[in-house]
Structure 1
Amino acid sequence: MTNKTFILDLVPGEQLERYIVREGVSKFRTKQILEWVYKKKSDSFSQFSNLPADFRKHLEENYCLRSFTLKDKKSSKIDATVRYSFNTPDGFEVITVFLPHENRNSICLSSQIGCPIKCSFCASGKVPFKRNLTRGEILEQILQVEKDSGAVVDSILFMGMGEPLLNYDNVVSAIKSMVDPEQFGYGRRNIVLSSAGFVPQIMKLSDEKVAVRLALSLHAPDDQVREKIITGKIPYFVEDILQAGLEYGRKTKSKITIEYVLIDGVNNTQADAAA
Protein backbone atom coordinates (compact mmCIF):
# COMPACT_ATOMS: atom_id res chain seq x y z
CA MET A 1 0.00 0.00 0.00
CA THR A 2 3.05 2.29 0.22
CA ASN A 3 2.43 5.62 -1.56
CA LYS A 4 -0.93 4.43 -2.83
CA THR A 5 -4.14 6.37 -2.19
CA PHE A 6 -6.73 4.40 -0.22
CA ILE A 7 -9.80 4.73 -2.40
CA LEU A 8 -12.27 4.36 0.51
CA ASP A 9 -10.76 7.51 2.05
CA LEU A 10 -11.89 9.53 -0.96
CA VAL A 11 -15.31 11.04 -0.35
CA PRO A 12 -17.63 10.07 -3.23
CA GLY A 13 -18.68 13.09 -5.22
CA GLU A 14 -16.38 16.04 -5.73
CA GLN A 15 -13.31 14.55 -4.05
CA LEU A 16 -13.35 11.30 -5.99
CA GLU A 17 -14.29 13.13 -9.21
CA ARG A 18 -11.35 15.49 -8.69
CA TYR A 19 -8.95 12.54 -8.51
CA ILE A 20 -10.50 10.92 -11.57
CA VAL A 21 -10.48 14.09 -13.69
CA ARG A 22 -6.89 14.77 -12.62
CA GLU A 23 -5.99 11.45 -14.23
CA GLY A 24 -7.51 12.62 -17.51
CA VAL A 25 -10.53 10.30 -17.34
CA SER A 26 -14.15 11.27 -17.97
CA LYS A 27 -16.30 12.02 -14.94
CA PHE A 28 -18.82 9.32 -15.83
CA ARG A 29 -16.20 6.77 -14.82
CA THR A 30 -16.71 7.90 -11.24
CA LYS A 31 -20.14 6.26 -11.09
CA GLN A 32 -18.70 3.01 -12.44
CA ILE A 33 -15.95 3.04 -9.82
CA LEU A 34 -18.45 3.72 -7.04
CA GLU A 35 -20.55 0.77 -8.14
CA TRP A 36 -17.58 -1.60 -8.02
CA VAL A 37 -16.30 -0.24 -4.70
CA TYR A 38 -19.53 0.09 -2.74
CA LYS A 39 -22.26 -1.96 -4.42
CA LYS A 40 -20.24 -4.91 -5.69
CA LYS A 41 -17.66 -4.53 -2.90
CA SER A 42 -14.81 -5.60 -5.14
CA ASP A 43 -11.36 -5.94 -3.61
CA SER A 44 -9.41 -6.02 -6.89
CA PHE A 45 -9.27 -3.45 -9.70
CA SER A 46 -8.99 -6.33 -12.17
CA GLN A 47 -12.70 -6.96 -11.53
CA PHE A 48 -13.66 -3.48 -12.81
CA SER A 49 -14.53 -5.00 -16.19
CA ASN A 50 -16.32 -1.98 -17.68
CA LEU A 51 -13.25 0.24 -17.32
CA PRO A 52 -10.51 0.41 -19.98
CA ALA A 53 -7.63 -1.98 -19.31
CA ASP A 54 -5.03 0.79 -19.20
CA PHE A 55 -7.10 2.71 -16.64
CA ARG A 56 -7.51 -0.42 -14.49
CA LYS A 57 -3.73 -0.81 -14.58
CA HIS A 58 -3.31 2.82 -13.56
CA LEU A 59 -5.70 2.35 -10.64
CA GLU A 60 -3.83 -0.76 -9.53
CA GLU A 61 -0.52 1.10 -9.56
CA ASN A 62 -1.72 4.20 -7.72
CA TYR A 63 -4.67 3.23 -5.55
CA CYS A 64 -5.63 0.45 -3.15
CA LEU A 65 -9.04 -0.98 -2.26
CA ARG A 66 -8.08 -2.45 1.13
CA SER A 67 -5.59 -1.31 3.75
CA PHE A 68 -5.98 -3.86 6.57
CA THR A 69 -4.45 -7.29 6.97
CA LEU A 70 -6.21 -9.85 9.15
CA LYS A 71 -4.12 -10.50 12.27
CA ASP A 72 -6.45 -12.78 14.19
CA LYS A 73 -10.06 -13.76 14.75
CA LYS A 74 -11.62 -15.49 17.72
CA SER A 75 -15.06 -17.07 17.93
CA SER A 76 -17.02 -17.07 21.17
CA LYS A 77 -17.62 -20.43 22.84
CA ILE A 78 -20.96 -19.11 24.11
CA ASP A 79 -22.51 -17.83 20.89
CA ALA A 80 -21.49 -17.15 17.29
CA THR A 81 -19.83 -13.79 17.99
CA VAL A 82 -16.50 -13.31 16.20
CA ARG A 83 -13.81 -10.85 17.32
CA TYR A 84 -11.59 -9.69 14.46
CA SER A 85 -8.19 -8.11 14.87
CA PHE A 86 -6.81 -6.19 11.87
CA ASN A 87 -3.39 -4.64 11.39
CA THR A 88 -3.14 -1.15 9.88
CA PRO A 89 -0.29 -0.19 7.51
CA ASP A 90 1.27 1.96 10.27
CA GLY A 91 1.40 -0.96 12.70
CA PHE A 92 -1.65 -0.46 14.88
CA GLU A 93 -4.46 -2.87 15.71
CA VAL A 94 -8.15 -2.36 14.93
CA ILE A 95 -10.76 -4.47 16.70
CA THR A 96 -14.09 -5.30 15.03
CA VAL A 97 -16.80 -7.59 16.41
CA PHE A 98 -19.24 -9.51 14.21
CA LEU A 99 -22.56 -10.48 15.79
CA PRO A 100 -24.37 -12.97 13.55
CA HIS A 101 -27.98 -13.79 14.34
CA GLU A 102 -30.68 -15.84 12.70
CA ASN A 103 -32.61 -12.75 11.59
CA ARG A 104 -29.93 -10.04 11.56
CA ASN A 105 -26.16 -9.72 11.29
CA SER A 106 -24.69 -6.81 13.22
CA ILE A 107 -21.19 -5.41 13.31
CA CYS A 108 -19.56 -3.44 16.12
CA LEU A 109 -17.20 -0.89 14.59
CA SER A 110 -14.20 0.87 16.11
CA SER A 111 -13.77 4.57 15.40
CA GLN A 112 -10.38 5.16 17.05
CA ILE A 113 -7.21 3.26 17.87
CA GLY A 114 -7.22 3.26 21.66
CA CYS A 115 -9.78 5.20 23.65
CA PRO A 116 -9.44 8.49 25.57
CA ILE A 117 -12.66 7.97 27.59
CA LYS A 118 -11.34 5.19 29.85
CA CYS A 119 -14.54 3.61 31.15
CA SER A 120 -13.49 1.43 34.08
CA PHE A 121 -15.56 -1.58 32.96
CA CYS A 122 -14.40 -1.52 29.32
CA ALA A 123 -11.36 -3.37 27.97
CA SER A 124 -10.93 -0.74 25.24
CA GLY A 125 -10.52 1.91 27.92
CA LYS A 126 -7.27 0.29 28.97
CA VAL A 127 -5.74 0.79 25.51
CA PRO A 128 -3.97 4.18 25.23
CA PHE A 129 -5.33 6.44 22.52
CA LYS A 130 -3.12 6.56 19.41
CA ARG A 131 -5.12 8.11 16.58
CA ASN A 132 -8.47 8.40 14.84
CA LEU A 133 -9.47 5.94 12.16
CA THR A 134 -10.00 7.39 8.70
CA ARG A 135 -13.40 7.23 7.01
CA GLY A 136 -12.03 4.46 4.81
CA GLU A 137 -10.77 2.42 7.76
CA ILE A 138 -14.20 2.66 9.39
CA LEU A 139 -15.93 1.44 6.23
CA GLU A 140 -13.33 -1.23 5.51
CA GLN A 141 -14.25 -3.07 8.69
CA ILE A 142 -17.64 -3.90 7.12
CA LEU A 143 -16.10 -5.10 3.87
CA GLN A 144 -13.44 -7.22 5.56
CA VAL A 145 -15.94 -8.96 7.86
CA GLU A 146 -18.41 -9.62 5.06
CA LYS A 147 -15.67 -11.08 2.85
CA ASP A 148 -14.31 -13.32 5.59
CA SER A 149 -17.67 -14.47 6.99
CA GLY A 150 -19.57 -14.75 3.72
CA ALA A 151 -22.49 -13.01 5.45
CA VAL A 152 -24.23 -9.73 4.74
CA VAL A 153 -24.11 -7.14 7.53
CA ASP A 154 -27.58 -5.71 8.23
CA SER A 155 -26.96 -3.30 11.09
CA ILE A 156 -24.11 -1.09 12.25
CA LEU A 157 -23.12 -0.39 15.85
CA PHE A 158 -20.57 2.34 16.60
CA MET A 159 -19.79 0.66 19.91
CA GLY A 160 -16.25 -0.61 19.35
CA MET A 161 -13.00 0.97 20.41
CA GLY A 162 -13.03 4.75 20.71
CA GLU A 163 -15.46 7.62 21.14
CA PRO A 164 -17.14 8.21 17.76
CA LEU A 165 -17.94 11.87 18.39
CA LEU A 166 -14.26 12.64 19.04
CA ASN A 167 -13.62 11.48 15.47
CA TYR A 168 -16.57 13.46 14.23
CA ASP A 169 -15.68 14.28 10.63
CA ASN A 170 -14.53 10.77 9.67
CA VAL A 171 -17.41 9.05 11.45
CA VAL A 172 -20.05 11.30 9.88
CA SER A 173 -18.44 10.93 6.46
CA ALA A 174 -18.52 7.14 6.85
CA ILE A 175 -22.17 7.24 7.98
CA LYS A 176 -23.13 9.30 4.93
CA SER A 177 -21.65 6.57 2.73
CA MET A 178 -23.50 3.92 4.75
CA VAL A 179 -26.92 5.53 4.27
CA ASP A 180 -26.40 6.59 0.64
CA PRO A 181 -28.52 4.27 -1.56
CA GLU A 182 -25.83 4.49 -4.26
CA GLN A 183 -23.22 3.19 -1.82
CA PHE A 184 -23.96 0.86 1.14
CA GLY A 185 -27.66 1.70 1.32
CA TYR A 186 -28.28 1.03 5.03
CA GLY A 187 -31.46 2.33 6.63
CA ARG A 188 -30.78 5.10 9.12
CA ARG A 189 -32.51 3.19 11.90
CA ASN A 190 -30.13 0.29 11.33
CA ILE A 191 -27.18 2.39 12.50
CA VAL A 192 -26.60 3.08 16.21
CA LEU A 193 -23.96 5.50 17.42
CA SER A 194 -22.95 5.18 21.07
CA SER A 195 -21.38 8.20 22.77
CA ALA A 196 -20.21 9.07 26.26
CA GLY A 197 -21.88 12.41 25.75
CA PHE A 198 -20.11 15.26 23.94
CA VAL A 199 -22.86 17.84 23.84
CA PRO A 200 -21.73 20.14 20.98
CA GLN A 201 -21.12 17.16 18.69
CA ILE A 202 -24.51 15.66 19.56
CA MET A 203 -26.21 18.91 18.61
CA LYS A 204 -24.14 19.18 15.43
CA LEU A 205 -25.01 15.59 14.51
CA SER A 206 -28.70 16.39 14.82
CA ASP A 207 -28.30 18.82 11.92
CA GLU A 208 -26.42 16.44 9.62
CA LYS A 209 -29.60 14.87 8.24
CA VAL A 210 -28.29 11.35 8.77
CA ALA A 211 -30.72 10.70 11.66
CA VAL A 212 -29.01 7.56 12.95
CA ARG A 213 -30.06 6.22 16.33
CA LEU A 214 -28.16 7.64 19.31
CA ALA A 215 -27.18 5.70 22.43
CA LEU A 216 -25.92 7.65 25.45
CA SER A 217 -23.31 5.77 27.47
CA LEU A 218 -24.18 7.21 30.90
CA HIS A 219 -23.79 4.39 33.48
CA ALA A 220 -24.57 6.72 36.38
CA PRO A 221 -27.46 8.87 37.63
CA ASP A 222 -25.29 11.87 38.54
CA ASP A 223 -21.89 13.42 37.90
CA GLN A 224 -20.27 12.26 41.15
CA VAL A 225 -20.96 8.58 40.50
CA ARG A 226 -20.10 8.93 36.82
CA GLU A 227 -16.64 10.28 37.57
CA LYS A 228 -15.86 7.05 39.43
CA ILE A 229 -16.81 4.96 36.38
CA ILE A 230 -15.59 7.09 33.47
CA THR A 231 -12.15 8.43 34.31
CA GLY A 232 -11.48 10.22 31.02
CA LYS A 233 -12.36 13.91 30.95
CA ILE A 234 -15.88 14.62 29.70
CA PRO A 235 -16.59 18.32 30.33
CA TYR A 236 -20.39 17.99 30.36
CA PHE A 237 -22.87 17.31 33.14
CA VAL A 238 -25.17 14.29 33.03
CA GLU A 239 -28.20 16.59 32.90
CA ASP A 240 -26.79 18.48 29.90
CA ILE A 241 -25.99 15.22 28.09
CA LEU A 242 -29.53 13.97 28.65
CA GLN A 243 -31.01 17.23 27.39
CA ALA A 244 -28.81 17.09 24.28
CA GLY A 245 -29.94 13.51 23.68
CA LEU A 246 -33.61 14.43 24.03
CA GLU A 247 -33.14 17.34 21.63
CA TYR A 248 -31.40 15.01 19.17
CA GLY A 249 -34.32 12.59 19.38
CA ARG A 250 -36.82 15.39 18.84
CA LYS A 251 -35.02 16.85 15.81
CA THR A 252 -34.33 13.49 14.15
CA LYS A 253 -37.59 11.83 15.22
CA SER A 254 -35.66 8.87 16.62
CA LYS A 255 -35.58 6.98 19.90
CA ILE A 256 -32.69 7.50 22.32
CA THR A 257 -31.12 4.58 24.19
CA ILE A 258 -29.54 5.02 27.63
CA GLU A 259 -26.68 2.58 28.28
CA TYR A 260 -26.16 1.67 31.92
CA VAL A 261 -23.77 -1.05 33.10
CA LEU A 262 -24.54 -2.10 36.68
CA ILE A 263 -21.46 -2.16 38.93
CA ASP A 264 -22.02 -3.63 42.37
CA GLY A 265 -21.66 -1.05 45.12
CA VAL A 266 -21.03 1.79 42.70
CA ASN A 267 -24.15 2.57 40.66
CA ASN A 268 -26.71 -0.09 41.60
CA THR A 269 -28.19 1.19 44.86
CA GLN A 270 -31.82 2.10 45.50
CA ALA A 271 -30.77 5.75 45.60
CA ASP A 272 -29.22 5.41 42.11
CA ALA A 273 -32.46 3.89 40.81
CA ALA A 274 -34.54 6.67 42.37
CA ALA A 275 -32.33 9.35 40.81
Structure 2
Amino acid sequence: MSATSDDRYAEYDGQWKRPTVFRSHTVKYAVYAVVLLFVAWNVWAVRLPLDRIVQGFGSAGVLVGNMFPPDFGVSIVVRTTEFGVPVPVGTNVSDGAVRLWDGMVETIAMSIVATVVGVIISIPIAVMAAENLVPKPVYIIGRTIVSVSRALHELVVGIIVVVGFGFGALAGVVALVWATPGFLAKLIAEDLEDIDPAQIDAIRSTGASPLQVMLFGVAPQVMPRLIGLTIYRWDINVRAATILGVVGAGGIGNVLVRSFDRYDYQYSLAIILAIIAVVLVGEAVSAIARRRVQ
Protein backbone atom coordinates (compact mmCIF):
# COMPACT_ATOMS: atom_id res chain seq x y z
CA MET A 1 0.00 0.00 0.00
CA SER A 2 2.76 2.43 0.96
CA ALA A 3 4.81 1.53 -2.09
CA THR A 4 1.82 2.26 -4.29
CA SER A 5 1.38 5.64 -2.63
CA ASP A 6 5.06 6.44 -3.10
CA ASP A 7 4.82 5.58 -6.77
CA ARG A 8 1.73 7.70 -7.15
CA TYR A 9 3.35 10.82 -5.67
CA ALA A 10 6.80 10.27 -7.16
CA GLU A 11 5.96 12.38 -10.20
CA TYR A 12 5.43 15.51 -8.06
CA ASP A 13 8.43 17.60 -7.03
CA GLY A 14 6.86 18.73 -3.76
CA GLN A 15 6.67 22.40 -4.77
CA TRP A 16 3.44 24.33 -5.24
CA LYS A 17 3.04 26.01 -8.60
CA ARG A 18 0.61 28.78 -9.37
CA PRO A 19 -2.22 27.61 -11.66
CA THR A 20 -2.03 28.98 -15.17
CA VAL A 21 -4.60 29.52 -17.87
CA PHE A 22 -2.27 28.03 -20.45
CA ARG A 23 -2.11 24.31 -21.06
CA SER A 24 1.63 24.32 -21.67
CA HIS A 25 4.63 26.61 -21.96
CA THR A 26 4.42 26.34 -25.73
CA VAL A 27 0.89 27.73 -25.76
CA LYS A 28 1.87 30.48 -23.32
CA TYR A 29 4.80 31.70 -25.39
CA ALA A 30 2.74 31.44 -28.57
CA VAL A 31 0.09 33.71 -27.04
CA TYR A 32 2.76 36.18 -25.91
CA ALA A 33 4.21 36.22 -29.41
CA VAL A 34 0.81 36.88 -30.97
CA VAL A 35 0.15 39.74 -28.53
CA LEU A 36 3.53 41.33 -29.27
CA LEU A 37 2.97 41.02 -33.01
CA PHE A 38 -0.48 42.59 -32.62
CA VAL A 39 0.95 45.53 -30.66
CA ALA A 40 3.73 45.96 -33.21
CA TRP A 41 1.21 45.95 -36.04
CA ASN A 42 -0.84 48.65 -34.30
CA VAL A 43 2.26 50.81 -33.80
CA TRP A 44 3.04 50.41 -37.49
CA ALA A 45 -0.59 51.12 -38.49
CA VAL A 46 -0.75 54.50 -36.72
CA ARG A 47 2.62 55.52 -38.22
CA LEU A 48 4.13 57.01 -35.07
CA PRO A 49 6.78 59.50 -36.27
CA LEU A 50 9.61 59.58 -33.73
CA ASP A 51 10.85 62.97 -34.93
CA ARG A 52 7.48 64.57 -34.27
CA ILE A 53 7.31 62.94 -30.84
CA VAL A 54 10.69 64.38 -29.89
CA GLN A 55 9.73 67.77 -31.33
CA GLY A 56 6.43 67.61 -29.44
CA PHE A 57 8.20 67.22 -26.10
CA GLY A 58 10.23 70.33 -26.84
CA SER A 59 7.15 72.32 -27.83
CA ALA A 60 5.32 71.10 -24.74
CA GLY A 61 8.18 72.34 -22.57
CA VAL A 62 7.99 75.78 -24.16
CA LEU A 63 4.20 75.84 -23.68
CA VAL A 64 4.45 74.91 -20.01
CA GLY A 65 7.08 77.59 -19.52
CA ASN A 66 4.80 80.22 -21.08
CA MET A 67 1.98 79.23 -18.71
CA PHE A 68 3.75 80.44 -15.59
CA PRO A 69 2.83 82.30 -13.53
CA PRO A 70 -0.92 81.61 -13.77
CA ASP A 71 -3.07 84.68 -14.32
CA PHE A 72 -6.33 84.52 -12.38
CA GLY A 73 -7.20 88.08 -13.37
CA VAL A 74 -7.11 89.32 -9.78
CA SER A 75 -4.44 91.75 -8.62
CA ILE A 76 -3.87 93.53 -5.33
CA VAL A 77 -3.91 97.32 -5.38
CA VAL A 78 -1.04 98.64 -3.28
CA ARG A 79 -0.61 102.21 -2.00
CA THR A 80 2.69 103.50 -0.69
CA THR A 81 2.49 105.52 2.51
CA GLU A 82 4.40 108.71 3.17
CA PHE A 83 7.03 106.60 4.90
CA GLY A 84 7.53 104.48 1.77
CA VAL A 85 5.74 101.40 3.13
CA PRO A 86 3.51 99.56 0.61
CA VAL A 87 0.03 98.90 1.98
CA PRO A 88 -2.65 96.83 0.19
CA VAL A 89 -5.81 98.87 -0.18
CA GLY A 90 -7.99 96.65 -2.37
CA THR A 91 -8.16 94.29 -5.31
CA ASN A 92 -8.58 94.74 -9.03
CA VAL A 93 -10.74 92.13 -10.73
CA SER A 94 -10.38 91.88 -14.50
CA ASP A 95 -12.89 90.61 -17.05
CA GLY A 96 -10.86 87.39 -17.24
CA ALA A 97 -11.53 86.66 -13.58
CA VAL A 98 -15.24 87.24 -14.11
CA ARG A 99 -15.28 84.90 -17.12
CA LEU A 100 -13.39 82.24 -15.15
CA TRP A 101 -15.82 82.49 -12.24
CA ASP A 102 -18.92 82.46 -14.42
CA GLY A 103 -17.62 79.54 -16.49
CA MET A 104 -16.68 77.52 -13.42
CA VAL A 105 -20.04 78.16 -11.76
CA GLU A 106 -21.83 77.13 -14.95
CA THR A 107 -19.73 73.96 -15.19
CA ILE A 108 -20.45 72.99 -11.58
CA ALA A 109 -24.16 73.73 -12.06
CA MET A 110 -24.24 71.63 -15.24
CA SER A 111 -22.51 68.71 -13.51
CA ILE A 112 -24.77 68.84 -10.45
CA VAL A 113 -28.01 69.01 -12.45
CA ALA A 114 -26.84 66.26 -14.80
CA THR A 115 -25.75 64.06 -11.89
CA VAL A 116 -29.02 64.46 -9.97
CA VAL A 117 -31.18 63.81 -13.03
CA GLY A 118 -28.88 61.00 -14.15
CA VAL A 119 -29.04 59.26 -10.76
CA ILE A 120 -32.84 59.49 -10.70
CA ILE A 121 -32.93 57.86 -14.13
CA SER A 122 -30.19 55.33 -13.35
CA ILE A 123 -31.70 53.80 -10.20
CA PRO A 124 -34.75 52.18 -11.88
CA ILE A 125 -32.57 51.18 -14.84
CA ALA A 126 -30.13 49.52 -12.42
CA VAL A 127 -32.97 47.53 -10.85
CA MET A 128 -34.12 46.49 -14.32
CA ALA A 129 -30.56 45.41 -15.16
CA ALA A 130 -30.17 43.25 -12.01
CA GLU A 131 -30.84 39.66 -13.02
CA ASN A 132 -31.75 38.50 -9.50
CA LEU A 133 -34.49 41.10 -9.00
CA VAL A 134 -36.54 41.18 -12.20
CA PRO A 135 -37.87 38.77 -14.83
CA LYS A 136 -35.69 37.90 -17.80
CA PRO A 137 -37.47 40.17 -20.35
CA VAL A 138 -37.13 43.18 -18.03
CA TYR A 139 -33.47 42.30 -17.44
CA ILE A 140 -32.79 42.26 -21.18
CA ILE A 141 -34.44 45.68 -21.58
CA GLY A 142 -32.41 47.12 -18.70
CA ARG A 143 -29.12 45.79 -20.05
CA THR A 144 -29.97 47.11 -23.50
CA ILE A 145 -30.56 50.61 -22.12
CA VAL A 146 -27.22 50.48 -20.29
CA SER A 147 -25.40 49.29 -23.42
CA VAL A 148 -26.95 52.01 -25.59
CA SER A 149 -25.97 54.66 -23.04
CA ARG A 150 -22.39 53.36 -22.98
CA ALA A 151 -22.13 53.13 -26.76
CA LEU A 152 -21.74 56.87 -27.37
CA HIS A 153 -19.21 59.12 -25.66
CA GLU A 154 -20.36 62.35 -24.05
CA LEU A 155 -18.50 64.37 -26.65
CA VAL A 156 -20.27 62.61 -29.54
CA VAL A 157 -23.64 63.10 -27.85
CA GLY A 158 -22.71 66.73 -27.18
CA ILE A 159 -22.07 67.36 -30.87
CA ILE A 160 -25.44 65.84 -31.75
CA VAL A 161 -27.29 67.71 -28.99
CA VAL A 162 -25.71 71.06 -29.86
CA VAL A 163 -27.15 70.71 -33.35
CA GLY A 164 -30.60 70.04 -31.89
CA PHE A 165 -30.69 72.35 -28.85
CA GLY A 166 -28.17 74.99 -29.88
CA PHE A 167 -25.14 76.25 -28.00
CA GLY A 168 -25.22 76.59 -24.24
CA ALA A 169 -25.46 74.72 -20.97
CA LEU A 170 -28.67 72.84 -21.87
CA ALA A 171 -26.85 70.83 -24.52
CA GLY A 172 -24.14 69.94 -22.03
CA VAL A 173 -26.63 68.81 -19.39
CA VAL A 174 -28.47 66.59 -21.88
CA ALA A 175 -25.21 64.98 -23.01
CA LEU A 176 -24.12 64.28 -19.43
CA VAL A 177 -27.52 62.88 -18.46
CA TRP A 178 -27.33 60.54 -21.45
CA ALA A 179 -23.97 59.14 -20.34
CA THR A 180 -24.77 58.72 -16.64
CA PRO A 181 -26.89 55.51 -16.78
CA GLY A 182 -24.22 53.75 -18.82
CA PHE A 183 -21.83 54.21 -15.92
CA LEU A 184 -23.95 54.36 -12.78
CA ALA A 185 -26.71 51.89 -13.64
CA LYS A 186 -24.21 49.27 -14.78
CA LEU A 187 -22.16 49.37 -11.56
CA ILE A 188 -25.18 49.53 -9.26
CA ALA A 189 -26.79 46.63 -11.13
CA GLU A 190 -23.68 44.53 -10.49
CA ASP A 191 -23.84 45.42 -6.79
CA LEU A 192 -27.53 44.52 -6.69
CA GLU A 193 -26.71 41.10 -8.11
CA ASP A 194 -24.25 40.53 -5.23
CA ILE A 195 -26.54 41.51 -2.34
CA ASP A 196 -27.34 39.11 0.51
CA PRO A 197 -30.66 37.39 -0.32
CA ALA A 198 -31.19 36.49 3.35
CA GLN A 199 -32.03 40.10 4.20
CA ILE A 200 -34.57 40.24 1.39
CA ASP A 201 -36.18 36.98 2.54
CA ALA A 202 -36.38 38.31 6.09
CA ILE A 203 -38.21 41.44 4.94
CA ARG A 204 -40.56 39.43 2.74
CA SER A 205 -41.39 37.07 5.61
CA THR A 206 -42.94 40.00 7.46
CA GLY A 207 -45.48 40.48 4.66
CA ALA A 208 -43.77 43.54 3.22
CA SER A 209 -44.80 44.87 -0.17
CA PRO A 210 -42.34 44.84 -3.11
CA LEU A 211 -41.65 48.54 -2.55
CA GLN A 212 -40.90 47.93 1.13
CA VAL A 213 -38.60 45.06 0.18
CA MET A 214 -36.68 47.41 -2.11
CA LEU A 215 -36.51 50.18 0.50
CA PHE A 216 -35.60 48.10 3.55
CA GLY A 217 -34.05 44.93 2.11
CA VAL A 218 -32.18 46.04 -0.99
CA ALA A 219 -31.43 49.77 -0.65
CA PRO A 220 -29.47 49.58 2.66
CA GLN A 221 -27.06 47.06 1.14
CA VAL A 222 -26.09 49.25 -1.81
CA MET A 223 -26.55 52.74 -0.34
CA PRO A 224 -22.86 53.36 0.59
CA ARG A 225 -21.81 52.25 -2.87
CA LEU A 226 -24.50 54.40 -4.49
CA ILE A 227 -23.38 57.53 -2.64
CA GLY A 228 -19.74 56.93 -3.49
CA LEU A 229 -20.51 56.29 -7.16
CA THR A 230 -22.80 59.32 -7.32
CA ILE A 231 -20.06 61.66 -6.13
CA TYR A 232 -17.58 59.91 -8.41
CA ARG A 233 -19.95 60.41 -11.32
CA TRP A 234 -20.25 64.09 -10.41
CA ASP A 235 -16.47 64.26 -10.53
CA ILE A 236 -16.55 62.70 -14.01
CA ASN A 237 -19.29 65.09 -15.09
CA VAL A 238 -17.21 68.10 -14.04
CA ARG A 239 -14.38 66.96 -16.31
CA ALA A 240 -16.76 65.92 -19.08
CA ALA A 241 -18.52 69.29 -18.91
CA THR A 242 -15.15 70.93 -19.47
CA ILE A 243 -14.61 68.87 -22.61
CA LEU A 244 -18.14 69.55 -23.83
CA GLY A 245 -17.36 73.26 -23.78
CA VAL A 246 -15.07 72.60 -26.74
CA VAL A 247 -18.10 71.85 -28.94
CA GLY A 248 -20.09 74.80 -27.60
CA ALA A 249 -22.01 73.07 -24.82
CA GLY A 250 -21.25 75.80 -22.28
CA GLY A 251 -19.14 75.79 -19.17
CA ILE A 252 -15.51 76.51 -18.41
CA GLY A 253 -14.37 74.47 -21.40
CA ASN A 254 -15.53 77.20 -23.76
CA VAL A 255 -13.54 79.78 -21.80
CA LEU A 256 -10.49 77.50 -21.86
CA VAL A 257 -10.63 77.02 -25.63
CA ARG A 258 -10.91 80.76 -26.21
CA SER A 259 -7.91 81.41 -23.97
CA PHE A 260 -5.82 79.04 -26.08
CA ASP A 261 -7.11 80.71 -29.24
CA ARG A 262 -5.82 84.04 -27.87
CA TYR A 263 -2.49 82.45 -26.84
CA ASP A 264 -3.23 83.58 -23.30
CA TYR A 265 -1.49 80.59 -21.74
CA GLN A 266 -1.15 82.06 -18.25
CA TYR A 267 -4.92 82.49 -18.12
CA SER A 268 -5.29 78.93 -19.48
CA LEU A 269 -3.22 77.58 -16.58
CA ALA A 270 -5.41 79.48 -14.12
CA ILE A 271 -8.49 77.79 -15.59
CA ILE A 272 -6.83 74.36 -15.42
CA LEU A 273 -5.88 74.91 -11.77
CA ALA A 274 -9.46 75.95 -10.97
CA ILE A 275 -10.75 72.72 -12.53
CA ILE A 276 -8.24 70.66 -10.54
CA ALA A 277 -9.29 72.42 -7.32
CA VAL A 278 -12.95 71.60 -7.91
CA VAL A 279 -12.13 67.94 -8.59
CA LEU A 280 -10.04 67.72 -5.40
CA VAL A 281 -12.90 69.17 -3.38
CA GLY A 282 -15.20 66.56 -4.91
CA GLU A 283 -12.79 63.79 -3.89
CA ALA A 284 -12.73 65.07 -0.31
CA VAL A 285 -16.53 65.29 -0.16
CA SER A 286 -16.80 61.75 -1.55
CA ALA A 287 -14.45 60.35 1.10
CA ILE A 288 -16.33 62.09 3.93
CA ALA A 289 -19.73 60.95 2.63
CA ARG A 290 -18.62 57.32 2.31
CA ARG A 291 -17.24 57.27 5.84
CA ARG A 292 -20.42 58.77 7.27
CA VAL A 293 -22.70 56.31 5.48
CA GLN A 294 -20.61 53.24 6.27
Q: Counting strand residues as a fraction of each chain, which structure ranks higher?
A: 1
Q: Counting helix residues as a fraction of each chain, which structure ranks higher?
A: 2
Same fold per superposition (TM over 0.5) = no
Q: Which has the higher contact order (CA 8 A, sep 6+)?
A: 2
Q: TM-score, normalised by structure 1?
A: 0.23
Q: TM-score, normalised by structure 2?
A: 0.22
Pick the structure with greater CA Rg: 2
